[in-house]
Amino acid sequence: MLDAFLLGLNSLTPTVLLWMTVGVLVSTVIVIIPGLGGVFAMVLLFPLAYSLTPEAGLAMLVAAAAVSGTGNTITGVLFGVPGSATGVATILDGYPMAKKGLATRALVAGLTASAVGGIFGAVILALILPFMRPLVLSLGSPEFFMMIFAALVFMSYVGEGSKLKSLTAGFAGLMLSFVGLEISTATARYTFGTLYLIDGVRLVPLFIGLFAITEMLILLRKGGSIAAPDAKYGTKTQIADGFLDVFRNWRTTLVSSTVGVVVGLAPGLGGAAAQFIAYTQAMKLSKNGKKFGTGEVEGVIAADAATNSKDGGALVPTLAFGIPGSSSMALLLAAMIGLGIRPGQSMLTDNLHIVWMFILILVIANVIGAALCIAFAGAFAKVTRVTASTLAPPILVISLFGAFATSRALGDVWTALIAGFVGYGMVRFGYSRATFVIGFVLGILLERHYILSMNLYGLDFIRRPVAIGIASSVVLVVGFPIVRRLVRGVKAPQPEVEASDAAVSTTEG
C-alpha cells in the first residue's frame, strides 16, 4: 500500500499537475453558466484526454469532475441561478444571504465547505480501499429507499411559513416527478400525448425557471438591486466569518460530507440527491433548523459539502466494479477504458498507484478550485449592487440559453418560462420552492428504488437491518416531539390545580 502511494505521488509530475489545473479552470468557468454543468466540461475535455499520456488525461478529467460543484456556488449565491442540478440546494440559503448583504460570507462558506467536503471524500476513499467490495455490496435499494423516504418525511421542516403549504409544495413536486414513462412497464404517465414529456420534466430547465427566472421577475418588480444599497461587500470580516463558519459548524460539515460519500456509493443517485439528503439531515440536526431557507449559513455549508464529497464515494463502484456512480464517473470510466486502464480487481492490485493518484488529485483540485473562487469572492459579491434594469435582462437571456443548451429542445425553454411564472406565484402565496424541488428530485429516485426493492425482496425489504435502523430513526425523530408535547400537556394542568387548592386553603385559614 505504501509503495502504491509513493508511486501515485510520483505520478504527479509538473505536466500532470498542469493538465489537472486546466481541468479545474475549464470546469469552474463552464459550471458558472446556467445549464452547463461539470459533465459538459468533461465532454469538452474528453477528446483532449486521448492526446495526452494516460496519467495527464485522467488527471484532467478527475479534476474537472472534482470541482464541478464549486462554480455552482457563485451563480447560486449571487443570482439564485443554479449552474446545474447539483447547485440547487445552495440557492435555498445562499441567495437569501446575498439579499441581506452577506454574499461574500455565503460564497466563502460555500466554497470552503466544497473544498473540505471534497478532501473528506478523498480521505474516506483512501481509508476504505481495503474494504471496497463489502462496503458497496452492503448498501442496496432497500437502504437507499429508506434514506430517501427519511429525507421526504423531513420536507415540511424546510423553509419558513406554514408546514401545510410546505408539504403541499413537496407533494406537488413528488407528483411532477412521475411524469413520463413508468420505470417497470414503460407506460406513459401524464404526458398528454406529447413526445417531449416522454422522458419526464427535465431537471435543469425546471430549476432555472423556478429560481433564476422567478428571482429576476421579483427583482424587476421591486426594482433596486439584489442586496441593500448600504450593505458591505468583500469585507475582511465576511471573508473570515465565511471561512470560520465551516469549522464552527463542524458537525454540519462532517454529517453532510458523510452523507455525500454514502450517496456517491450508490450508482445513479448523484449530486442532486446528495445535496438534498444532506440538506434535510442538517436541517433536522441543527438548532437553527427552522431558519433553513431564510439565509442560514449552515444550509449553504450542508449543500456544498455533500456536493463535492460525493465524488470520493462515486469513485468506489467506478474503480472497484466498473459501475459508474454518476454521469461524470461514466465519462471517466469510458476514458479509462479508452486509455487501456481496466476497472475492477486489477485497479486494486496492478494499478493501485492510479487510485492513489486520483485521491491526491481530488484533494489538490478541490483546494485550487476553492482558493481560486475565494480570491475573487469580494469582487463577485459587488455584482449584487447592480440595479435590476441592468442585471435582469442578461441573466434572463443566459438562463434561457442554459435551459435550451441542456438538450437543444425548444420545449426546455417553455418549461423554464412556465416554471418561472409558477415559481413567482409560489413566492407570492407562500409555498416553498425548496420542498417542491426536494420532492421532485427525490421522487424519481424513491420510485426507482421502491420498484427494485419490491422486485428483489418483496415486502421483506423493510426487514433488512440497515433499513430497520433508518426507519427507527425516522420514527424517533418525528415521534419524540409529539410524545414530549403530549407529556407536557398532561403535566401542565397539575400546577394550576395545586395553586387553586392552595388558594382555597388560604381563604379557609
Among 447, 463, 479, residue at a domain's last position: 463
Higher pLDDT, 56 or 228: 56
Q: What is the pLDDT of residue 488?
A: 73
Higher pLDDT, 341 or 114: 114
Which of 101-115, 224-238, 320-334 is most confident?
Answer: 101-115
Q: What is the pLDDT of residue 362?
A: 82
Same domain? For 457 and 473 the reply is no
Three cell numbers written together for 333: 470510466
Q: What is the pLDDT of residue 227?
A: 57
Q: What is the pLDDT of residue 381?
A: 64
Q: pLDDT tens digits for 459-493?
A: 888 888 878 887 887 787 677 767 777 777 666 55
Same domain? For 266 and 345 the reply is yes
Asked if residue 221 has pLDDT above 70, the reply is yes
Same domain? For 358 and 479 the reply is no
**Residue 188, helix vs strand vs coil:** strand
Three cell numbers written together for 61: 478529467
Same domain? For 368 and 503 the reply is no
Same domain? For 459 and 478 the reply is no
Q: What is the pLDDT of residue 504?
A: 43
Which of 38-47, 62-71, 323-332 is most confident?
Answer: 62-71
Domain that holds residue 376: 2-463
Asked if residue 39 has pLDDT above 80, the reply is no
Same domain? For 494 and 389 the reply is no
Distance of alpha carbon 362 from alpha carbon 369, whole angstroms = 11
Same domain? For 431 and 485 the reply is no
Same domain? For 428 and 500 the reply is no
The shares of helix, strand and coil residues in the chain, as percent rounded to the nearest 5, are 80, 0, 20
Q: What is each CA distance from 324 to 43, 273, 332, 479, in whole angstroms?
A: 16, 16, 8, 38
Radius of gyration from C-alpha coordinates of the chain: 24
Distance of alpha carbon 100 from alpha carbon 496, whole angstroms = 45
Same domain? For 498 and 349 the reply is no
Three cell numbers written together for 332: 471517466
Helix or strand (DSSP H, E) at 177: none
Same domain? For 152 and 282 the reply is yes
Q: What is the pLDDT of residue 345?
A: 61
Same domain? For 408 and 509 the reply is no
Q: pLDDT tens digits for 70-88?
A: 777 777 777 776 666 666 7
Q: Which amino acid is present at 436?
A: F
Sequential DSSP letters for 318-344: HHHHS--SSHHHHHHHHHHHHTT---S
Asked if residue 134 has pLDDT above 70, the reply is no
Question: What pTM, to 2 d.p., does this model score?
Answer: 0.64
pLDDT bin (cut points 50, 70, 90) of residue 506 is very low
Three cell numbers written together for 220: 424587476
Could you tell me if 328 and 38 are in contact, meaning their C-beta atoms sit under 8 angstroms apart? yes
Q: What is the pLDDT of residue 156?
A: 58
Q: What is each CA distance from 177 to 43, 170, 199, 258, 413, in whole angstroms?
A: 27, 11, 10, 27, 19
pLDDT bin (cut points 50, 70, 90) of residue 272 is low
Tally of domains in the chain: 2
pLDDT bin (cut points 50, 70, 90) of residue 509 is very low
pLDDT bin (cut points 50, 70, 90) of residue 62 is confident
Q: What is the pLDDT of residue 502?
A: 46
